[in-house]
Amino acid sequence: MKIASFKRVVLILSLVLMVSVVVAGCTNNSKEAEGTDSKLEGIISIVGSTSVTPLAEELGQEFSNKNPEIKVDVQGVGSTAGIKAIIDETADVGISSRDLKDEEKESKIKEHIIAYDGIVVVVHPENSVEDLDMDTINKIFTGEIKNWKEVGGEDEEILIVSREEGSGTRGAFEEILELDSVREDALIAEGNGAVKANIASKKNSIGYISLSYLDDSIIGLKIDGIEGTVENIKSGKYKVSRPFLMLTNGEEGPLVKEFLDFVLSEEGQKIVGEKQITVK
């Protein structure tokens, strides 16, 4: 008897499960059908550079406010990972803070420049050095200059904070400053935030971050007498800048197209203009 009732329970349970799956499937389908008819809905997944992430999140937020049915999911994992995700088609949009390398360029990948960003060389607030030229910065990061007193600071060893191999910010920084490679014994911090935290807590440190991460806990150096600000980068006076890219693979879907249109629209570029440099 017990077994019989047990069997019956199992039978009923599995029936319920089946029915619910079928029903759920149906409702989902019908919703999607409605969606494509009238309004766009769904999730756009954006993956890539940690430098572009704050901007992409802000753009996504505003875009979702305008289109409540569309969610924008942003993951900051690094430029190379973002480019890889687009090649593998595991994300809808890839974000990169460096140009694509030759081996990454595939015929189907489209690059959309959505903004320009500055890279700021930063030091601890108590550091007395305010201005360096490109050549000196190069020498500091390659290890030719090792003490702050050589560049007008206190008699203290220079501690270099760099980014991990493969980081878009590091790639762009090395390229613009024509550095072969940052000093080997540099402290490696993972991400812009970690660089900032390290510099803010170490008096003799120097590092580089994306302009959008600059705040009061650290000081951005002038380069060749020019401060790294939105205006100076826009006018081309501040040299250490790079493009922010959004990448797509093949023909964009309606969702992604709508999003990219928004990013490049006047409204989207206004958000870009708050911390980065607009395209137009």
Partner 1 sequence: MKKSNWQEKLNEKLYLISALISIALILSITLFIFIKGVPAIKEIGIKNFVLGTKWKAGDGQYGILPMIVGSIYVTIGACLVGVPIGLFTAIYLSEMANKKTADFLRKVVELLAGIPSVVFGFFGLVSIVPLIDKFFGGGGNSLFASSIILGIMILPTIISISEASIRAVPKEYREGSLALGSTHIDSTFKVILPSAKSGILASIVLALGRAIGETMAVILVSGNTPLIPHSIFDRVRTLTSNIAIEMGYAYGLHQGALFATGVILFVFIMIINGVFLVFNRKAGELNDR
Q: Can you list the pairs that 261-267 forms with residues at least 24 positions away whose Cβ atoms lie under 8 Å?
A: 262/59, 262/62, 262/63, 262/66, 263/59, 263/63, 263/112, 263/114, 264/112, 264/114, 267/62
Binding mask 192-231 for partner 1 (x = CB under 8 A): --x--xx--xx-xx--------------------------
193 or 225: whose CB is closer to partner 1?
193
* Sole binder of partner 1 in the list 93, 123, 159, 218 (CB under 8 A): 159
Torsion of CA 209, 213, 219, 221, to 10 degrees: 40
**Least distance (Å) from partner 1 to the CB of residue 141?**
14
Element of type H or E holding 94: strand 93-96
Q: SS in 3 state form for 200-215?
A: HHCCCEEEEEEHHHCC
Binding span for partner 1 by CB under 8 A among 51-59, 181-189, 208-216, 266-274: 181-189
Report the residue count for the chain. Answer: 280
* Sole binder of partner 1 in the list 3, 5, 102, 178 (CB under 8 A): 3
Q: What is the distance between the alpha carbons of residues 247 and 111, in angstroms, rounded to a whole number?
A: 5
92 or 174: whose CB is closer to partner 1?
174
**Least distance (Å) from partner 1 to the CB of residue 144?**
18
159 or 255: whose CB is closer to partner 1?
159
CA 266 remoteness from chain centre: 21
Binding footprint of partner 1 on the chain (CB under 8 A): 3, 77-81, 84, 103, 157, 159, 164-167, 181, 184-190, 194, 197-198, 201-202, 204-205
